[in-house]
Structure 1
Amino acid sequence: MQEQENNSAASDVTASDLSPIPVIALNDQRLIAQLAKTEALLAETSDALLRARADSENTRRRSQDDMAKARKFAIESFAEAMVPVKDSLEMALMLDWPSFEALREGVEMTLKQLNSAFERHGLLEITPARGEKIDPEKHQAVALIPTNDQESNTVVSVLQKGYMLADRLLRPAIVTAAQASPSKT
């Protein structure tokens, strides 16, 4: 029974209820002009996309080249600062029997050149003072020394200076640290 109702409902639709599908005339000038305009816009957009891709690829390639050059020549300025230091050391070695004073003066001048180069390039010494609290970010304690006159975990002596480049630790200062004596604990 329900099937009959569905069939009768479908047969109730008449041809006048359906809207006709518009027929497009191929010789309609407005449509031809619109199609030509759309095709031109598509070609222009496609060309712009290809140019943008090429520009992006060229930029990527140039930045890779720049990065490679930056890595290759990153220490150029520092190397230029080291050349006079090397020259000074070589000149000192060429002297036949220098006096101790002359040798000492030459070494001091060379050390000043080296310190100046380090300073210009942001290479800083880490030399903690006796009694300074151990900083595990900058100091490496290699021995504990029992002491009555210092707090525990403070610097007793510096065995080797440390160095930082800008904010990066290159080498920690090697130190001995104070250990509280058993009577203080």
Structure 2
Amino acid sequence: MTDMETPENDAPESPDTGEDTAQVPDLAAELAARDEEIAALKDKAMRAAAELENTRRRLEREKADASSYAMTGFARDLLAVADNLRRALEALPTAGVDGVKGGIEATERELIAIFARHGISRIDADGQKLDPNRHQAMLEVPSADVAPGTVVATLQAGWTIKDRLLRPAMVSVAKAAE
């Protein structure tokens, strides 16, 4: 028997029953549904990967912030020591206590140097425009010398750690003279 005489080729053609044409649209619809499902799963996978990457970046940023600002509470506690050293210097009489004054000044300089090594710095407020993000206005003083809203005196120094506020400067602010 040759290839042309195989039983499959010898079979008479069956009359068209309509089953083959009904299966073609069903297969096309099923294929379209599968394509939509594949597209949806790809989208879902891409969104999950993006969310994972965003979470990783956020955690890295939080970790960096935690290490940079871990000593914030300790630094706030030490600000009281710096304030008390400054008050002690201001309360000393001008004569007769040069040794004590020199010792307190040296201690204050050392504390300020330690603060600087750890990114803690004093806010310079005198003569600047009032910034509610860095200054806390405690009182208003009538003044014809400076523009209203300008800091005329610092009552308590403000401090920052790197780029974050540790404590706002407590200041007196000029207001228009009456």
Bin for the TM-score computed over the shorter chain:
0.3 to 0.5
Q: TM-score, normalised by structure 1?
A: 0.45
Q: TM-score, normalised by structure 2?
A: 0.47
